């Protein structure tokens, strides 16, 4: 793999309504630090990630800039205004980048990413055009109708897709431009390549600790993971 220019877009534009309260979940405190800052840290510390754009909720953009300045991270991190939908935020972030080879797109509320995952996603994205972290589904999956089980789904080839999702920059930008023109909103960024390109997206190993903090109980688990990490002083 050649020496690549790698950048990251952190989608932090959501209002976090499912968590409750006045503070969007990505800006809430997690073991003494804002969650978003813990998410950003591995990207900032990576020697391979040269640009980082945070697409922040409009009401929290000023707050986000202040935290970046306080941390001394403004040499690599730029803050832009996020949008109403996740795709709007990601597109805003993509436009703010200086045309890297590879872009890693990551959820602001997944603070337990590690560099190995980032590097593997970037490597496979260069090779295939797109890649995504994922873990196999372990639970039995049922198909239902009005609350009644209708069938059991074969889980052999089923995966829970996470972020980071990595793409050649020119490919994901093209897909986003088409999606914007068509008014299409995707639930994740791989979906755009699935819909608008013939690229086969490569799955790379994610982690069951790479949780997405969405519901109140997720914060309880995240606090436990963060506490263990801080005690052991190792990456998990």
| 42 contacts 115 by C-beta, under 8 angstroms | yes
Among candidate residues 222, 187, 200, the one with its CA nearest the CA of residue 29: 222
% the chain with pLDDT above 90? 85
Contact 126, 98 (CB under 8 A): no
Residue 171 has pLDDT above 80, yes or no: yes
How remote is the C-alpha of 104 from its chain's centroid?
8
Asked if 122 and 104 count as a contact pair (C-beta separation under 8 A), the reply is yes
Q: Is a pLDDT exceeding 70 seen at residue 19?
A: no
Q: Over 70: is that where the pLDDT of 234 sits?
A: no
Beta bridge partners of residue 11, listed in sequence order: 55, 107
**What pLDDT is stored for residue 174 in this prediction?**
96
Q: How confident is the model at residue 228 (pLDDT cuts 50, 70, 90)?
A: confident
Structural contact between residues 167 and 129, judged by C-beta atoms closer than 8 angstroms: yes
87-120 pLDDT per residue, tens? 999 999 999 999 999 999 999 999 999 999 999 9
CATH class of the domain at 6-232: alpha beta
H or E stretch at 134: strand 130-136
Can you state the angle between helices 86-96 and 169-182, rounded to 10 degrees? 130
For the chain, give every domain's residue range: 6-232
pLDDT score of 236 more than 50: no
Q: How far apart are CA 183 and CA 39, in angstroms?
A: 30
User: 3-state DSSP call for residue 3?
Assistant: coil
Phi, psi of 58 (to 5 degrees): -50, -40
Whether the CB-CB separation of 12 and 57 falls below 8 Å is answered with yes
């Amino acid at each position: 793999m050649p020496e690549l220019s790698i950048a990251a877009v952190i989608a932090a534009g959501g209002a976090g309504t499912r968590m409750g309260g006045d503070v969007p979940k990505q800006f809430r405190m997690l073991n003494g630090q804002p969650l978003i800052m813990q998410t950003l840290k591995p990207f900032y510390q990576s020697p391979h990630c040269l640009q980082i754009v945070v697409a922040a909720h409009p009401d929290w953009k000023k707050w986000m800039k202040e935290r970046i300045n306080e941390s001394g991270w403004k040499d690599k991190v730029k803050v832009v205004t996020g949008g109403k939908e996740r795709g709007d935020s990601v597109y805003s972030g993509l436009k703010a980048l200086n045309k890297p080879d590879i872009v890693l797109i990551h959820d602001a509320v997944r603070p337990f990413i590690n560099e190995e995952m980032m590097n593997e996603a970037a490597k496979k994205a260069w090779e295939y055009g797109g890649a995504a972290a994922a873990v196999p589904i372990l639970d039995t999956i049922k198909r239902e109708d009005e609350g009644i089980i209708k069938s059991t789904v074969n889980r052999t080839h089923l995966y829970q897709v996470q972020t980071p999702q990595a793409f050649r920059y020119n490919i994901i930008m093209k897909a986003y431009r088409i999606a914007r023109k068509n008014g299409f909103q995707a639930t994740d960024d791989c979906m755009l390549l699935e819909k608008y390109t013939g690229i086969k997206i490569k799955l790379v190993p994610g982690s069951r600790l790479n949780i997405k903090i969405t519901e109140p109980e997720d914060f309880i688990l995240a606090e436990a993971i963060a506490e263990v990490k801080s005690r052991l002083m190792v990456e998990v």
